[in-house]
Amino acid sequence: MKIANLPGDGIGPEIIEQATRVLNALDEKFEMESAPVGGAGYEAHGHPLPEGTLKLAKEADAVLFGAVGDWKYDKLERALRPEQAILGLRKNLNLFANLRPAILYPELAGASTLKPEVVSGLDILIIRELTGDIYFGQPRGVRECPDGPFKGEREGFDTMRYAETEIRRIAHVAFQAARKRGKRLTSVDKANVLETFQFWKDIVTDVHKEYPDVQLDHMYVDNAAMQLVRAPKKFDVIVTGNMFGDILSDAAAMLTGSIGMLPSASLDANHKGLYEPSHGSAPDIAGKGIANPLATILSAAMMLRYSLNKAEQADRIENAVKKVLAQGLRTPDIYEEGTTKVGTKEMGDAVVKALA
């Protein structure tokens, strides 16, 4: 089994290092190969997603991704900016299903900005479609406004779109995930305004016929944003499009107050996947040895479960993480009085030790 390691920028290399150590501490042999991506790809080969990196990612059974981005690339033209690497990987590898759990570990309840009774025990799964929607729809650009009151002046424009197949396949992923959990699925749309999402709603409703054991409800995206703040524990699984999913999954992650703990998986139709922490590259703390590696370590666990068919090893990692939290070890982002502050490497050490 071959894993492509794409550490990226900022704290990416540090957290990937710890995740690889944890993987290597399992009683399994993985072939691992690294390649530069994001700003690092641009520095090495003039492109955020160099050809060799894409080739490696395509060949591998799974991709372990750190994080990309740094202020210093802000002035580059859009096509060369680090985040284009993520979009390119998603599109080229057909990673249409993004799974983002928002879980609040009991030990970290205090880290949330929400009241403990509102979030304690939070365990929701956001499933975001990742290769369609307004992210990739054509045409897009800046043009002369073709009609209406602003005819003739410049306008920026993009196309939102979802084909039936795209909606069906993400709906299947969502219903199947719900079936394995609390059997409740909320499909988030904006069917009262957008044609794309009236169509989305109709197709999801149709797919529901194949999952009569799962309870489906539909919610407008503005209401979903409110309900996530008001009563997040009422959700089980949420499924939505690429754009709304971008916003809601980040909001949901922040509810936990410990985004440094949250993994994510982006899957294709054949269980191949890209795994990355939900947080960013945090250039401000890069190289200081204080980044939290747990989201990346937990992403490696998701990789074992979803792409490498090693659920037991995944469980082992997840249990080891719970153990170090119970031991009171905390990186600065989740530190509270009465716990023990540790750095990136010590946290990795502790997880490796807890695996034993």
Ligand X SMILES: CC(C)[C@H](C(=O)O)[C@@H](O)C(=O)O
CA pair distance 230, 118, nearest whole angstrom = 8
Binding to ligand X in span 250-279, by CB under 6 A: none
Binds its own copies by CB under 8 A, chosen from 55, 59, 163, 217: 163
237 binds its own copies, rule: CB under 8 A? no
What is each CA distance from 205 to 4, 13, 144, 193, in whole angstroms? 37, 43, 39, 18
137 close to 161: Cβ distance less than 8 angstroms? yes
Binds its own copies by CB under 8 A, chosen from 72, 193, 217, 326: 193
What is each CA distance from 246 to 127, 162, 239, in whole angstroms? 10, 16, 11
Give 132 or 293: the residue with its C-beta nearer to its own copies: 132
**Is 246 noted as a catalytic residue in this protein?**
yes
Could you tell me the two tokens for 264?
């994510």
Work out what residue 35 binds among ligand X, its own copies, none; the CB cut-off runs from 5 to 8 Å by kind. Answer: none
193 binds ligand X, rule: CB under 6 A? yes
In whole angstroms, the minimum distance from the beta carbon of 333 to its own copies comes to: 12
Binds ligand X by CB under 6 A, chosen from 61, 123, 155, 246: 246
Give 83 or 123: the residue with its C-beta nearer to its own copies: 83
Candidates 71-79, 80-88, 168-176, 321-329: pick the segment binding ligand X (CB under 6 A).
Answer: 80-88
Candidates 83-91, 207-215, 299-307, 326-334: pick the segment binding ligand X (CB under 6 A).
Answer: 83-91
**Is 211 noted as a catalytic residue in this protein?**
no
CA pair distance 176, 312, nearest whole angstrom = 20
Q: SS3 of 87, please?
A: helix
In whole angstroms, the minimum distance from the beta carbon of 213 to ligand X comes to: 31
Binds its own copies by CB under 8 A, chosen from 31, 52, 106, 229: 229
Q: Which of 123, 250, 268, 349 is catalytic?
A: 250
Could you tell me the two tokens for 232?
């997040």
Q: Comparing C-alpha atoms, which of 184, 186, 188 is closest to residue 241?
A: 188
CA pair distance 202, 291, nearest whole angstrom = 43
86 binds ligand X, rule: CB under 6 A? yes
Could you tell me the two tokens for 1?
């089994």
Binds its own copies by CB under 8 A, chosen from 55, 140, 271, 353: 140
**Is 135 noted as a catalytic residue in this protein?**
yes
CB-hemisphere CA count at 13 Å for 346?
Answer: 14
Could you tell me the two tokens for 136?
């990739």
235 binds its own copies, rule: CB under 8 A? no
Q: In what order do the strands lie in the sheet with 31-34?
A: 31-34, 2-8, 62-67, 273-277, 263-267, 97-103, 123-129, 237-240, 184-189, 215-220
Q: Label residues 218-237 b or e (16+ Cβ within 10 Å = b).
A: bbbbeebbebbeeebeebbb
184 close to 214: Cβ distance less than 8 angstroms? yes
Residues that bind ligand X (CB under 6 A): 83, 86-87, 192-193, 222, 246
| Residues of the binding site for Mg(2+) | 222, 246, 250
Residues that bind its own copies (CB under 8 A): 78, 81, 83, 87, 113-115, 118, 134-135, 137-138, 140-142, 145, 147, 150, 153-166, 190, 192-200, 221-223, 225-226, 228-231, 243-244, 246-251, 253-255, 257, 259
| Residues of the binding site for substrate | 90, 100, 128, 222
